[in-house]
């Protein structure tokens, strides 16, 4: 049962009673009825790629895996929607859509291994959401099994609709605490025709951040605007030898429909700019960014964090992270979905340790508080899970906390759905 008890965090899991590998909605209904009758906690999970401990088992629970519910029940090019089961791998849905000139826009970095169900649970973001929004923005309706085993259909198949409260949006991002999603009606979008890709190296972080602002302000509408710091680039270079210049402090990778010339010109302060002229070259440039996590994992264990700030204060946020790293002698390698102000400081610590050492938590605490002080949030796209629960109250305050508990009580009066997570 061990591999079903944990996600991608180091959080020590509890010991489950057993694992259900659901293959149908009826399996989920049976599980929830039984769990309600016996008051047994249920921890739903997808592929277990979460980074906040949301899918970590609790003692005495049933782990309910949706990973075998992999049907794409429907894909309508005319209506630009698909109806999918939660175990569908995110990139598989995207590939199925592309056969019709469409795409499924949300693309968390883990999209080749993460499931739609997990994406819905955390309201996952990704690289493309600077243009196309997060998972909730692509979700039209849900089929949900409630804590007592009843089946609820929320939302719609249409682009718009305002009948009743937004239960669809409420389930998305609720980290398995309100119900178990067994199908989703998602919006597909036209795949863009021609993409231009630019990679630019900068000798200062501030120049890179200025280029981000300039690209957004010029109306280039990038569908990707990724920033990597020196520590990240160094880790990639040590592994793959990308020919990193000693003076490079940051790299920006931008992609937009149309021509690359305008974006390249807006990176005027860069020490080096590469422009792709073919899809293969573009894939190579973006490939550098996609190496980031693996490169860091070579350095040690990783606590992957996920603050998000208003874009205008992105330089302050990243500078603060560098100062915190230096002050506490902690290695922090940072990548950012810069167009969204979503910053992933990755705290690297010794592989021999079971949990992050005290100085990592102290440093993380300072980073979280700085993000909130800058008008930001604790988590842009990973969720609260277990890892960020101690900071939750700082952001939401006591009135919201009371409402969260009230809503939880309406949906799950026995508190058996993923207890102790998210709220």
- Residue 184 found at the interface with a copy of itself (CB under 8 A): no
Sheet bearing 18-21, strands edge to edge? 18-21, 62-65, 42-45
Radius of gyration, alpha carbons of the chain: 21
Asked if residues 103 and 188 have their Cβ atoms less than 8 Å apart, the reply is yes
Asked if residues 300 and 357 have their Cβ atoms less than 8 Å apart, the reply is no
CB of 205 to a copy of itself, least distance (A): 17
CB of 163 to a copy of itself, least distance (A): 5
Q: Which of 274, 384, 386, 387 binds a copy of itself (CB under 8 A)?
A: 384
CB of 68 to a copy of itself, least distance (A): 25
CB of 390 to a copy of itself, least distance (A): 13
Residue 85 CA: distances (Å) to CA of 82, 89, 187: 10, 10, 14
Q: Which of 160, 241, 351, 352 binds a copy of itself (CB under 8 A)?
A: 160
Residue whose CB is less far from a copy of itself, 17 or 191:
191
Asked if residues 219 and 263 have their Cβ atoms less than 8 Å apart, the reply is no
Asked if residues 381 and 335 have their Cβ atoms less than 8 Å apart, the reply is no
- Residue 262 found at the interface with a copy of itself (CB under 8 A): no
Place of tokens 């929607």: 81
- Residue 341 found at the interface with a copy of itself (CB under 8 A): yes
Residues 6 or more apart whose Cβ sits within 8 Å of residue 214:
266
Return the structure tokens found at 181: 């999603």
Q: Which of 169, 300, 357, 419 binds a copy of itself (CB under 8 A)?
A: 169
Asked if residues 391 and 378 have their Cβ atoms less than 8 Å apart, the reply is yes
CB of 298 to a copy of itself, least distance (A): 28
- Residue 381 found at the interface with a copy of itself (CB under 8 A): yes
Return the structure tokens found at 80: 């630009």
- Residue 173 found at the interface with a copy of itself (CB under 8 A): yes
Binders of a copy of itself among residues 288 to 307 (CB under 8 A) are: none
- Residue 109 found at the interface with a copy of itself (CB under 8 A): no
- Residue 99 found at the interface with a copy of itself (CB under 8 A): no
Residue whose CB is less far from a copy of itself, 354 or 399:
399
Residue 355 CA: distances (Å) to CA of 90, 338, 351, 383, 387: 30, 29, 9, 19, 12
Binding mask 266-285 for a copy of itself (x = CB under 8 A): --------------------
- Residue 145 found at the interface with a copy of itself (CB under 8 A): no
């Amino acid at each position: 049962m061990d591999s079903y008890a944990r996600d991608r965090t180091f959080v020590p899991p509890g010991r489950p009673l057993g694992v259900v590998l659901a293959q149908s909605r009826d399996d989920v209904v049976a599980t929830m009825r039984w769990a309600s009758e016996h008051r047994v906690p249920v921890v739903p999970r997808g592929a277990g790629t979460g980074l906040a401990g949301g899918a970590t088992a609790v003692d005495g629970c049933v782990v309910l895996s949706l990973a075998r519910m992999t049907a794409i029940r429907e894909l309508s090019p005319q209506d630009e929607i698909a109806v999918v089961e939660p175990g569908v791998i995110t990139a598989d849905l995207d590939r199925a859509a592309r056969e019709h000139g469409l795409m499924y826009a949300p693309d968390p970095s883990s999209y080749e291994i993460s499931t739609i169900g997990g994406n819905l649970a955390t309201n996952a973001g990704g690289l493309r959401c600077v243009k196309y929004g997060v998972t909730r923005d692509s979700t039209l309706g849900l089929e949900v099994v409630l804590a007592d085993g009843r089946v609820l259909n929320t939302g719609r198949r249409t682009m718009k609709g305002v009948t009743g409260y937004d239960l669809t949006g409420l389930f998305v991002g609720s980290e398995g605490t309100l119900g178990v999603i067994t199908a989703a009606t998602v919006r597909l979008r036209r795949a863009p025709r021609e993409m231009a890709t630019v990679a630019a190296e900068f000798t200062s972080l501030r120049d890179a951040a200025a280029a981000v602002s300039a690209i957004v302000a010029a109306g280039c509408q990038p569908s990707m605007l990724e920033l990597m710091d020196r520590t990240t680039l160094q880790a990639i270079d040590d592994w793959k030898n990308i020919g990193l210049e000693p003076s490079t402090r940051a790299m920006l990778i931008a992609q937009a429909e149309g021509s690359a010339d305008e974006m390249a010109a807006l990176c005027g302060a860069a020490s080096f700019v590469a422009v792709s002229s073919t899809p293969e070259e573009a894939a190579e440039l973006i490939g550098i960014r996609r190496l980031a996590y693996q490169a860091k994992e070579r350095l040690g264990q990783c606590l992957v964090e996920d603050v998000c700030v208003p874009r205008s204060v992105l330089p302050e946020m990243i500078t603060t992270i560098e100062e915190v790293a230096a002050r506490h002698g902690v290695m922090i390698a940072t990548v950012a979905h810069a167009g969204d102000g979503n910053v992933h400081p990755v705290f690297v610590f010794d592989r021999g340790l079971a949990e992050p050492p005290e100085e990592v938590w102290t440093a993380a605490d300072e980073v979280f508080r700085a993000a909130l002080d800058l008008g930001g949030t604790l988590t842009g796209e990973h969720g609260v899970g277990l890892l960020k629960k101690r900071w939750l109250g700082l952001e939401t305050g006591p009135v919201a906390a009371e409402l969260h508990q009230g809503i939880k009580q309406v949906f799950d009066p026995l508190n058996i759905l993923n207890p102790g997570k998210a709220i």
